[in-house]
């Protein structure tokens, strides 16, 4: 199996390079993920200009009703796998992460709900773009735990996919008229999701002291009394509209 997956990853890289649009990249990745039993996928940015745009995803093919439920119930704030991958910078499988969570961790709620949709296993791969921004590529499917070779395969095709998708949709800087700088907007967006300064620093690839400065400066710009007040004031100006 290892040799077959290795050959598949090499072939995938060649086909990916020939793709001229993100739709083609998405189709190739979905087919690649399907070879290891993963039927849903998503690729998008967590930091950088695209992450704060109206569409932070390069592509996403999860069921529409699940995405609606995910948004309505605020699962973004408690979904354990993407949060863990974002902060640690390492890929993770659901089957690896869930046993490590405390029994009362809210991330278990998301895991229980998604299982009702037939998704038993998932894998999230964090990928740094060439500009240094963080992206995530995630897959999920009805099968059980992935084998080590399958995880390595998903890491390889996920990294190649994000880099190609990002190359086809280069970052666009935010407007000069925005009240906040890019880093301030990123910090506020992550702050609104419950991340600490240390966690935000790991996601953005900067120091916790620098994050603290970004938040302090943002508060000063709008006269926010607290961090919670800053998030309330910033609202849609700092958060991506998904």
| Pair of tokens at residue 67 | 């995405």
d(CA 239, CA 242): 9
* Fold annotation for 2-168: Beta-Lactamase (3.30.450)
Q: What is the mean pLDDT of residues 167-171?
A: 83
**3: Cα within 13 Å, side-chain hemisphere:** 0
What's the CATH number of domain 182-237, 3.40.50.300, 3.10.20.30, 3.40.50.920, 1.10.10.10? Answer: 1.10.10.10
Q: What is the mean pLDDT of residues 11-37?
A: 96
> What is the location of CATH 1.10.10.10 in the chain?
182-237
The pLDDT score that the predictor gives to residue 235 is 74
Total number of residues shown for the chain: 242
Give the residue carrying structure tokens 């796998």.
81
pTM to 2 decimal places: 0.90
pLDDT reading at 27 higher than 60: yes
> What is the location of CATH 3.30.450.80 in the chain?
2-168
pLDDT reading at 89 higher than 50: yes
d(CA 26, CA 60): 8
């Amino acid at each position: 199996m290892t040799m077959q997956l290795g050959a598949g990853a090499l072939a995938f890289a060649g086909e990916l390079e020939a793709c001229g649009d993100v739709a083609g990249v998405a189709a190739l990745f979905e087919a690649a993920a399907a070879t290891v039993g993963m039927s849903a996928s998503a690729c998008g940015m967590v930091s950088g200009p695209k992450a704060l745009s109206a569409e932070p995803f390069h592509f996403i093919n999860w069921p529409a009703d699940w995405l609606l439920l995910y948004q309505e119930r605020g699962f973004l704030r408690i979904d354990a796998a993407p949060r863990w991958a974002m902060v640690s910078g390492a890929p993770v499988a659901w089957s690896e992460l869930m046993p490590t969570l405390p029994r009362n961790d809210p991330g278990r709620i998301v895991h229980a709900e998604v299982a009702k949709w037939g998704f038993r296993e998932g894998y999230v791969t964090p990928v740094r773009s060439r500009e240094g921004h963080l992206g995530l590529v995630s897959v999920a499917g009805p099968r059980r735990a992935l084998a080590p070779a399958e995880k390595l395969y998903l890491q390889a095709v996920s990294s190649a996919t994000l880099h190609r998708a990002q190359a086809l949709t280069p970052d666009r800087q935010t407007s000069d008229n925005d009240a906040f700088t890019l880093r301030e907007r990123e910090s506020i967006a992550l702050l609104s999701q419950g991340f600490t300064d240390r966690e935000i620093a790991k996601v953005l690839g900067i120091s916790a002291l620098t994050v603290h400065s970004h938040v302090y400066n943002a508060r000063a710009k709008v006269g926010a009394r607290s961090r919670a007040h800053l998030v309330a004031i910033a609202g849609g100006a700092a958060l991506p509209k998904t």
